[in-house]
Chain A
């Protein structure tokens, strides 16, 4: 009757698998596949938004993300340096900026810039993509600033001391010695940031826009009302986000393992 440790471990594993598979099968049996198919997977009715979902939507998602990230990266680096500055007002400003834009929902920033700017400065009317990129750029700058600051401070102090001892001015030591090393440290959190930004670009739906400015989620939402295919358009848009983000993760992982080899 008594079991050996190995027998008990094997039995436990078998029970785990049975429960896991059982739960999945039970759920799948409960599903009403017919309704599900017509509301989630009615691919045949997507004709009207193809190929625009990809040629316009995917393109705009990538475009908004890329520009927002570039803007956020430059501003974020500036804020990180300000936060580490010896001049106190710089630190105050950077801290205030970061806390503010990190603390409020990105969608509020979008609305504020989308409707606030034309109200505050009559006659100014930023095109919708500009609003999106400025808003998301500001928000991501707040996150990026903190990531970069942590990365820069993780580079041992001896590195900048060695650089300064060789006669490099502070900015040169930063650019040539510290930042390249910080880059390797911040690569994983930075990948995160790009992925978050990719998805945040979907918030652009809140602003009115012409078709040529739609990104994927906007296409999906409009498709729900116009196509009679349930939420299938959103399912497809969701899959397209994965088409962007998964390769991004893979590339970052490749970079990481490569820099790990030359890291000390």
Chain B
């Protein structure tokens, strides 16, 4: 089992508030008016079938995708304001990708220090210290001199989390962080996310890991076809869904060997 050191609590936290969010690619409307609230310190999981728009929604929060309509507030920033300093906003919002997106030409430590020194202008020694602290936190303190391609998928994703944490974010976005992983390495990544949640990190997580969502999330939001179909306390939405679409989706995900196909 992966060793994860004890995590000091008290992250600074900022919430997210989204109203009337719409996003289209050409004539294909992917998000059809989303309202969503994440309170500081809250852990919210976005679930739903592929193509439901949940990843697009997540990517709109830090403006990797530009919304067509609607307002998004993250911490003190209105990210949809054309005059907002996006770089400043993004310094506070950590993002973890499905494909890790570690910088392959930099060592593990450099992956964690490059933005600290170039963006936050921290002195090299301090950046290294912060990187080491966060690599310790994800159980990879001894791997600082390795290159990403020398690590397993699970280890790479843990480095990606440490890289994001090294910026001292007040909000973390996770875009299907375990979907590209070998099954045996999923657990180590989820363990770190669980410990972050316990430590009070504000998290918005797109995931297919229902047991994780049920156990760790404060709230779960089920999306389908670009709209929020159902949302509520995690145990309720996953344990006792009300909407037929939610029920159908959960049945397929939780018991895939007994899905019936209409012929």
Contacts and interface: CB of A to CB of B under 8 A. Distances in A.
Interface residues of A, number: 21
B21 interface: no
A162 B147 contact: no
Residue among A161, A165, A177 with max Cβ neighbours from chain B (10 Å): A165
Interface string A97-110: 00000000000000
B87 interface: yes
Contacts of A176: 114, 118
Contacts of B258: none
A184 interface: yes
A34 interface: no
Given A165-B64, A176-B114, A159 B103 contact: yes
Interface in A214-264: 262-264
Main SS at interface, chain A: helix
Interface stretch (B94-102, B205-213, B236-244, B248-256): B94-102
Given A264-B104, A264-B149, A162 B114 contact: no
A205 to B, nearest CB: 42
B94 to A, nearest CB: 8
A67 interface: no
B90 A167 contact: yes
A181 interface: yes
B163 interface: yes
Nearest to A183: B105
Residue among A159, A168, A180, A264 with max Cβ neighbours from chain B (10 Å): A264
A167 B149 contact: no
A30 to B, nearest CB: 55
A169 B147 CA distance: 24
B112 to A, nearest CB: 10
B101 A166 contact: no
Interface string A163-203: 11111110010001100110010000000000000000000
A125 to B, nearest CB: 46
Given A158-B97, A158-B99, A161-B97, A166 B104 contact: no
Contact of B105 (A158, A167, A169, A180): A180
A167 B103 contact: no
Interface in B150-191: 160, 163-164, 167
Interface in B58-98: 62, 64, 87-88, 90-91, 93-95, 97
Contacts of B199: none
A143 B55 CA distance: 39
Given A164-B64, A167-B87, A263 B149 contact: yes
B87 A168 contact: yes
A181 B101 CA distance: 13
Contact of A184 (B91, B95, B105, B114): B105
Nearest to B104: A264
20 contacts: A156-B99, A158-B99, A159-B101, A162-B95, A162-B103, A162-B160, A165-B93, A165-B94, A166-B115, A166-B164, A167-B115, A169-B87, A176-B114, A177-B103, A177-B114, A180-B105, A181-B104, A263-B149, A264-B104, A264-B149
- Sorted nearest first, the 7 A-B pairs with minimum C-beta distance are A167-B91, A166-B115, A264-B149, A162-B101, A165-B95, A158-B101, A264-B104
